[in-house]
Structure 1
Amino acid sequence: MDKLETMKAFVTVAQESAFSKAAGKLNISPQLVSKYVSQLEDKLQIRLLNRTTRKVSLTEAGIEYYQRCQQVLADIDEMEGSLTDLHKNISGLLTISAPMSFGTKHLPKLFAEFQDIHPKLKVELKLTDRKVNIVEEGIDVALRVGKLESSSLIAKKITPINLAIYASPDYLKKHGTPNSPIELQGHTYLKYNNSESSMLFSQFGIEYKKLGLNEKIVTNNGDFLVNAAVYDEGIIIQPTFIAGEAFAAGKLKQILVGYEPAPLALYAVYANRKFLAGKVRTFIDFVSQFYGDVPYWD
């Protein structure tokens, strides 16, 4: 027996003075309303209502119980309302981890719009390309780019992250433009050291070692590689969210179109789905809608 449901049924019958009217207000059958009230009386071992063919009225005990029930139900409604207001008017500190390049380029606008809606919320953003332990380091939400390994954490896909292959016009003029992956032989490759270069062309059946690429620069920052490519240092494979601006400005050309590595994704990663704090759920809902299925940088 659901005590709250039986209390609601009893209070509504008392207010409407009829089982049928109470049933209509509660959108359930009169038989179920009668069953709820009877269960309540059996539980309390006391009669709460006087029933006649024309009218239902409260007994003396029913009057006292009705008043108590009204207060209990009002208190519950007030509590739930205050929690809803807390969810809508979120405040406090929200701690977020995000990759360096993505955070620098694409989070300021998101945070500006998010905090316009929630001005009482303070955001602490930790930019790092290191994979943080969100539980040990007290992170509410981690934004991660890549293909996620299975874990006990919850991951929500936010938007696709496309990769493309670029070089500067002057580099291509000097060294030639490859039209297939095998034509990369002898070219200079500016490598991101957290990636598995052997995987970047594996879907095309080419062994990375056979390409004979000159790994002239190896680093852990995509912005550096894009800038190096702009200065004619070599070929890069980078996410479009990093290289898109230089490409749009004509500083880089996209090459090997159709041979791009498989897309990655941006994920929001958090510790637990159950009883998620309002500020965390609100941010995840917001970021899920912000970039869309085709992000603005594409």
Structure 2
Amino acid sequence: MKLDGISAFVAIAEAGSISEAARRLRLSKSVVSDRLAQLERRLGASLVHRSTRKLSLTEDGLAFLELASESLRRLDTAVAALAERRGTLAGPLRISAPVSLTNLHIGPALYPFLLRHPEIELTLELDDRRIDAQAEGFDGVVRHGPMHDSRLMAWRLARSRRVLVASQDYLERHGTPRTLNELDGHRGIFYTHRGIGDWRFVTAQKVVQVRGKVALRVNNGMVMRDAASAGLGITLLPLFLAGPDIRAGTLRVVEVGAAPEPEFIYVAHPEGRHPSAKLRALADCLRAAFGDPPYWEAGL
């Protein structure tokens, strides 16, 4: 049984399509399809339901997938272990990370890391949505915020202070809120991937939700920052995004007598899957590059 056929099947199952599996494997669609067909002939079983609308696994495919995926992971671990014995980090590493955080901070930290470890084959996919690391085949997921998925094990990389900010022009036109009650009536710029457009603050007694008027809902932090700078409304941003604009005076911090809920930047991996030395080294690299407290908080 050829290993490339098993790899093709697992990639198809994780990607949900032959086309996406081919993209991830850096092969043509026809090659991946042929490898799947050869594997099915070798096993004497159909593994995939094929249709023009969607792809799904047969009962045999579901039964074979679990053991095939585990076998590939064990093989990758064995190869990586041999590389580590030689004092090197090598092999594929697939990571998901947020768009804005990567553009501003993760990317600049990763480039020297990859130069030091040229045998690592890093696939970095930028996406702000919440990722199912297990189902989508990621070795690790870098995220900013609280942890919700109990199937993930997380390593903290840095704290992430968030502040309410607005432009001077907006505050002159609409007034500067001083309390949570005053904040409630203001126009807000909200992040869509957090669900409803609420701001959550910690007071001495409890966590308080404030729901402002929606001026804009968007799924990108840099657009939120720019919209606030343009005077569209008040927004709640991490300092890794808002710091330079606060220093430059483009944005002003709005104090309302309560702090936003604490959040962190973290890297997570699926529970039950032994994290590779490559993932641990990458996490250590990011942790060292960010610092404690993180460098983007300097002077604020």
Deviation (angstroms), 1:164: 0.3
Return the letter of the residue paired with 1:290. A
CA distance in 1, matches of 2:203, 2:277: 42
CA distance in 2, matches of 1:262, 1:251: 24
Inter-CA distance 150–215: structure 2 relative to 1 (3 Å threshold): closer
Check the 8 A contact 2:164/2:237 in 1, yes or no: yes
CA distance in 2, matches of 1:144, 1:91: 24
Check the 8 A contact 1:142/1:268 in 2, yes or no: yes
Check the 8 A contact 1:181/1:256 in 2, yes or no: no
1:187-246 Cα distance to aligned partner (Å, 9 max, x none): 21112223354451364765635xxx3211112221111101101111011111111122
Deviation (angstroms), 1:160: 0.7
Within a 5 Å distance, the mapping from 1:162-177 to structure 2 comes to 162-177=161-176
Partner of 2:245: 246
Within a 5 Å distance, the mapping from 1:130-145 to structure 2 comes to 130-145=129-144
Deviation (angstroms), 1:121: 1.9
Check the 8 A contact 1:94/1:140 in 2, yes or no: yes
Deviation (angstroms), 1:138: 1.8
Partner of 2:98: 99
Check the 8 A contact 2:179/2:257 in 1, yes or no: no
Taking only aligned residues, the RMSD between alpha carbons, in angstroms, comes to 2.5
% same residue: 30
Mark the structure with the bigger radius of gyration: 1
Deviation (angstroms), 1:158: 1.1
Partner of 1:260: 259
Check the 8 A contact 1:165/1:260 in 2, yes or no: no
Check the 8 A contact 2:201/2:261 in 1, yes or no: no
- Provide the TM-score with structure 2 as the length reference: 0.64
Deviation (angstroms), 1:139: 1.0
Name the SS of the counterpart of 2:144 in structure 1: strand
Deviation (angstroms), 1:274: 6.7
- Provide the TM-score with structure 1 as the length reference: 0.65
CA distance in 1, matches of 2:183, 2:203: 16
Residue 190 (1) aligns with residue 192 (2) = no
Residue 122 (1) aligns with residue 121 (2) = yes
Partner of 1:151: 150
Which runs of 5 or more residues in structure 2 are unaligned?
A: 1-80
User: Aligned pairs, how many?
Assistant: 215
CA distance in 2, matches of 1:110, 1:292: 11
Deviation (angstroms), 1:272: 5.2
CA distance in 2, matches of 1:134, 1:207: 30
1:66-120 Cα distance to aligned partner (Å, 9 max, x none): xxxxxxxxxxxxxxx955444x321222211011111111112111121122122
1:113-169 Cα distance to aligned partner (Å, 9 max, x none): 211221222321111011222222221111011111252322111111111000001
CA distance in 2, matches of 1:99, 1:140: 15
Which runs of 5 or more residues in structure 1 are unaligned?
A: 1-80
Partner of 1:200: 200
Partner of 1:27: none
